[in-house]
Structure 1
């Protein structure tokens, strides 16, 4: 019989995640999407709920198995009544479905309407045309990643689990006193006999090959892909998130005097005019390139040399626009909107920065002294979580949820910070009231890709807390030793990568904490030269 408290807690948590996802969407969405893009919005809401539920599934697994040392996660009669194996399998199928099916298709469908993604698609394209364009691009996504998964499962679908067997054989005793007139041994004394003439110990090491199920391999496949993203972006975010929140307090708006107001106004006007000219040149260059291509070649035009150069220029242009919008907001907060500006906002940012700094520092210490060394130096957070097991387990569950959710926020922050500094891919900032659905779906896909690595990372960091959970059997044993993937996880490649990226990011931000504006004159000159 299922534990009604767990069922009630799970239902309430799901509803809270749903409400939070809807509020998040409404709060950040751009006014242009307010009465449009309903299917992409539904995808974003469900994706956010799925990402949050994936991370919170670990605390639920702990609560379901709490206090049941003999509970293996399969016999629900011994546990809290929830079949956690089924729960995890559903999530292992749902995450790749969203990442490789729903989100890409909705992104293609949404962006086909403005002509930015689909080369040759005009603004205001008919729904049928948009649907066919989205299907065309989605086919290639499924073909590429579907082929990789099928080939990987056929070749690597086994887990080679190392097993160590200990055997002890006692050969003889010495100095054993006999009792009784017949000279026989007193059997009641045998448990206390420790003085052996010699004993033989057998230490046998072997490897057991176990065929993994389809959802288990799917979780390993998604976790492996996600680890490359999480190790880089999560490591950057651990250093960048606290710093940016604290800098938001340090650079809080203050009222401008007349001379500062005039200088800022002229600077913003000049930058706006330059960006308008650059935008027009970008549009002319793009139209000219597409006109030089015909038919099916338009679909692959972005991968040509000219297409890549145009994309690089567009990324620089988008960065410059973002910086200009940020400066305009700060200018208005320091002038026209100064009286209406909430003075508590910077202090909330400072408080959030302090909390983020503590969480980042604790995570780094946990990795450095517990996960990275060959043998853990100190349990640290494991001891902290176990404090609450006896009298207030809910606080331990909430603590694990906080630490896990924070890692997802760091991944999003790190992605934006990396893209903004190096311009290797399009940036997708989340700004209240100014976020388009394409940015929503990009960030939701990023969070979903990082959700399974976060779960695996949390299980590795808190094995004593999660010792009775079902996910330990999956992530800690079967997934850990799957062919090819096991080399990265057993040798802690991604763990060292997180530490290294966090350290390098900290040094980088120590010397360059601010994002520099784009050199618009150089970009303008290049575009103008291409036009002529």
Structure 2
């Protein structure tokens, strides 16, 4: 790699360092006070996992830039001297899969282990759980790879003889006569080949590509559910928050009345939590116990939101007026971001419909927008492209939070400034990592015209969409259709129920 694009390498290194520093900043400011100066291994996993997720998202714009680096090369083979993107893709996603299925579960088992046990016993217990998972995953991957780890490419066999090129300019070449020669002398098999010339070319894919493909399928199901819901609830949630905002400061008597009610709810939650903790010590951790734990988690999160809303309506302290002014400005920022996000969400949905679901596509839409932005300034289109990819990832997180609050079988792991425990951090990092693979695959498909001839399109386009047993999910646009359907249902939900004032959660009711 003697004359590879040095500028691209420098930019990539600088961006990686900035991502790493930014993730450390997030960890420090989001961590719970109970985790300060402890739980160092989970913190290392969180910072490393967030960095891998962010780098993987930015690798697709880097792949496009890497392709453009040799666009004006003066000699053949110059593109072989740029960044080895295919190897980088496979490497980053193998690391992604190891983090999601092994490292993060181990960190969560260790962190959530019984604090009364010694460090050695907690490590042993965590290794047993992760080891069992590793054996099961290895068996499943090995069996599937041995049986159906192949790709089926549809090819057409073409052959033709040669004709002497006429020297008297007595030939035609047009749409009506696309081949050289007169009538009855057409030698272009591409235009005259029969259907029997179409065959299936089968080859075995590499094991790393197969691991990436299966991880992408798992992530795609989660991405379809969470992303489809989140693409609508992310902007609409901000707008609804503005509509439900406190219009004025309440009186002291109103504050005392609400605070007293919240105190009663808090005592009920503490009593329920103590009861569940006692059941855990007695070994009664059945299905009903887990359901009650999630109910308490949900009620606790709702109570915290109500307390925060009450504090907004009755700011206290010497700077109460300034606090109220910042609250008003915060809600104004939410509505502005919500409107901008709604524009981006609608653009995404329209693009998916007209470019992916309609065959042939009505328009390349956002692909053309990125290309025109590149013409204005070289990195402008790439930056816009990266923003749309990141927006999808934010939509996944928003969708997971929304469904976690409404569906009992989804564990709630909220991210809160200065109050996020490491198990919640690890859960959300795992979700981000798992869905980031699918976000990249989805973007590589949705922006196939802009990202053409890239290593990502080779992996996530041709190979993944031709993989035996999986290709039909992509052939019939299962994930794209599911994404649009869930987005539409979420828009309808907000149109019907989202604008109503939130009612108090009421008394805590646990399953007996």
Tell me, yes or no, whether TM beats 0.5.
Answer: yes
The alpha-carbon distance between structure 1 residues 289 and 40, as it changes in their structure 2 partners (threshold 3 A), is closer
Tell me which residue corresponds to 2:101: 100
Helix, strand or coil at the partner of 2:374: coil
CA distance in 2 between partners of 1:154 and 1:227 (Å): 23
Task: Encode CA deviations 1:486-513: one digit per residue, 9 max, x unaligned.
Answer: 1111111111010111111222222232
CA distance in 2 between partners of 1:246 and 1:358 (Å): 12
Give the TM-score, by structure 2 length: 0.89
Tell me which residue corresponds to 1:285: 279
Task: Encode CA deviations 1:98-150: one digit per residue, 9 max, x unaligned.
Answer: 001110101111111xxxxxxxx3x3432112111111211222122222212
Q: Is the 8 A contact 2:53 2:432 kept in 1?
A: yes
Q: Tell me whether 1:499 sits opposite 2:493 in the alignment.
A: no
CA distance in 2 between partners of 1:207 and 1:55 (Å): 33
- Poorly superposed stretches of 4+, deviation over 6 Å: 168-172
Deviation, 1:171, is: 10
Q: Tell me whether 1:261 sits opposite 2:255 in the alignment.
A: yes
Tell me which residue corresponds to 1:116: none
Deviation, 1:333, is: 2.0
Task: Encode CA deviations 1:17-57: one digit per residue, 9 max, x unaligned.
Answer: 11221111112111111111111001000100100111111
Q: Tell me whether 1:212 sits opposite 2:205 in the alignment.
A: yes
Deviation, 1:521, is: 4.3
The alpha-carbon distance between structure 1 residues 336 and 187, as it changes in their structure 2 partners (threshold 3 A), is closer
Unaligned 5+ segments in structure 2 are none
The alpha-carbon distance between structure 1 residues 516 and 148, as it changes in their structure 2 partners (threshold 3 A), is farther
What count of residue pairs does the alignment treat as equivalent? 486
Tell me which residue corresponds to 1:135: 127
Helix, strand or coil at the partner of 2:201: strand
Q: Tell me whether 1:331 sits opposite 2:310 in the alignment.
A: yes
Helix, strand or coil at the partner of 1:522: coil
Moved more, 341-350 or 499-508: 341-350
CA distance in 2 between partners of 1:106 and 1:421 (Å): 27
Tell me which residue corresponds to 2:146: 154
Q: 1:270 aligns with which of 258, 261, 264?
A: 264
Helix, strand or coil at the partner of 1:188: coil
Tell me which residue corresponds to 1:296: none
Tell me which residue corresponds to 1:414: 399
CA distance in 2 between partners of 1:521 and 1:38 (Å): 36
Tell me which residue corresponds to 2:29: 27
Helix, strand or coil at the partner of 2:375: coil
Q: 2:56 aligns with which of 54, 63, 74?
A: 54
CA distance in 2 between partners of 1:167 and 1:399 (Å): 44
Tell me which residue corresponds to 2:117: 125
Deviation, 1:189, is: 1.5
Helix, strand or coil at the partner of 1:22: helix
Task: Encode CA deviations 1:254-274: one digit per residue, 9 max, x unaligned.
Answer: 311244223312221221122
Q: 1:252 aligns with which of 204, 225, 245?
A: 245
Q: How does 1:373-522 map to 2 (within 5 A)?
A: 373-513=358-498, 518=505, 520-522=507-509
Q: 1:187 aligns with which of 137, 142, 167?
A: 167
Q: Tell me whether 1:77 sits opposite 2:64 in the alignment.
A: no
The alpha-carbon distance between structure 1 residues 160 and 285, as it changes in their structure 2 partners (threshold 3 A), is same
Helix, strand or coil at the partner of 1:189: coil
Q: 2:193 aligns with which of 196, 199, 202?
A: 202
The alpha-carbon distance between structure 1 residues 265 and 158, as it changes in their structure 2 partners (threshold 3 A), is same
CA RMSD of aligned residues (A): 2.4
Q: 1:311 aligns with which of 279, 287, 290?
A: 290
CA distance in 2 between partners of 1:190 and 1:216 (Å): 52
Unaligned 5+ segments in structure 1 are 113-120, 173-184, 291-301, 528-532
Tell me which residue corresponds to 2:215: 222
Tell me which residue corresponds to 1:179: none
The alpha-carbon distance between structure 1 residues 278 and 66, as it changes in their structure 2 partners (threshold 3 A), is same
Deviation, 1:169, is: 7.5
Q: 1:231 aligns with which of 224, 243, 256?
A: 224
CA distance in 1 between partners of 2:428 and 2:212 (Å): 20
Give the TM-score, by structure 1 length: 0.86
Deviation, 1:518, is: 4.6
Deviation, 1:78, is: 2.1
Helix, strand or coil at the partner of 2:152: strand
Helix, strand or coil at the partner of 1:271: helix
Moved more, 508-517 or 139-148: 508-517
Q: Is the 8 A contact 1:245 1:352 kept in 2?
A: yes
Helix, strand or coil at the partner of 2:281: helix
